[in-house]
Each structure stands twice: as C-alpha cells, then as structure tokens.
Structure 1
C-alpha cells in the first residue's frame, strides 16, 4: 500500500476568509463541496489543506486525511490492529471510498482512495 498524499483538515466556518488568506501564500481552490473546501499549491499539487464546516456523512470532522492507493487493504490492516473505527468503510457520492480511524494520539484520520 502506498500513501499518495496527506492533508491537514481544519474545522472552520470561515471558508471565504481562509481561501483569501491562504491565497496570499499561493494556494488555490481545487475542490469545494460547500461543507468542505480544499486548497492546493499550483506548483506542488500534493501540498494541500482542507477546511471543513462539518462532515456530510460522518459523525466528526477528521483531523487529517491520508489518501492511499488501496483503501480496502488499509481498512483491513487498521481493523485487524484493533484500532477504533470512527466511521465505517463506505463509498461516498463525491467519488471516494473512505473510513475514519482514531490514531494513538486521539486524532481522527480520514483514510481514503479515489474510485
């Protein structure tokens, strides 16, 4: 299994202000579903940050997102380790398959793969 990118998620009700502020640092909006907006560096597209008002289908806002090339294998490894699954593995309408897990520090990690 390979990690494709890691994205910090910031719980925020200030999407417009965040877009403007991080725009000063060179970030541009690459995704906006209304409840989640992702900004990325045009020169280094894997350098991203997301701002989330509230997750559409999950009970919590994750602290970070980790995109992997095989989310089913990641889910099996995490489940078999006994880690707490916070949100079950499922296909989302916006084109990702994902689950949330709590890490040893208490942080919630959104593990995903694009379909």
Structure 2
C-alpha cells in the first residue's frame, strides 16, 4: 500500500470568521486555498502541492473531527488491514459525496485518523 499524502487537520472555532482568520494566518506562510466545503478548508503550498493543512469546524458526515488525514492508494485494503489487526474503527468505510472513500480509525495514542482514497 502506498501513502500519497498526510494532512494535519486542525479543528477551528465554529464562528464564520474563523475560516477567514485561519486562511489569512496560514497565507502568511505561503499557503493558498485549494478546497473549501464551508466546514473544511484545505490550504496547500503552490510550490509543493502535497504540503497541505486542513482547517475544519467539525466533520459533517462523521461523529468526530479527525486529527490527521492519510491518503492511500487502496483504502479498502487499508480498512481490511486495520480490521484484521483489531484496530478501533471510529467511522465506517463509506463513499462521500465530495469524491473520496474513507474511514476513521483510532491510533494507539487515541488520535483519530481519516484514511482515504480519491474515487
């Protein structure tokens, strides 16, 4: 299985200005918006597009906001490996309307990891 990218997810305040403030702050470091669904926004480096950070108020289709996202080439194989290892699946494997297939798993330190592949 190959990892395509790893993106930290930072949970931000629910207020409308929180996204704008965060975009401005990380923009000072050179990040630019590459995706925005209103509840999650991803910023990336124009010179290194895989260098990304996501800011989210919450996760609209899952019970918790993940701490980290890991994009893999085969999310079904990743899910099967986690289940076989007895890992705690926090959010079931499912297709999302924005073009990803994903599940959440809890790591040994209690962090929730969003494991995904683009469809």
TM-score normalised to the size of structure 2? 0.96
Higher fraction of strand: 1
Kindly provide the CA deviation profile for residues 30-75 of structure 1, in whole angstroms up to 9, marking residues without a partner as x. 0000000000000000000000101011000000000000000000
- Report what 1:57 is aligned to: 61
Kindly provide the CA deviation profile for residues 5-31 of structure 1, in whole angstroms up to 9, marking residues without a partner as x. 000000002111010010000000000
How many corresponding residue pairs? 115
- Report what 1:94 is aligned to: 98
* Distance of 1:74 and 1:15 partners within structure 2: 31
* Distance of 1:35 and 1:3 partners within structure 2: 25
- Tell me the C-alpha RMSD between the 2 structures: 0.4
Unmatched segments (≥5 aa) in structure 2: none
Unmatched segments (≥5 aa) in structure 1: none
- Report what 2:10 is aligned to: 10
Q: Which structure 1 residue ranges, 4+ long, deviate > 2 Å from structure 2?
A: none
* Distance of 2:54 and 2:110 partners within structure 1: 20
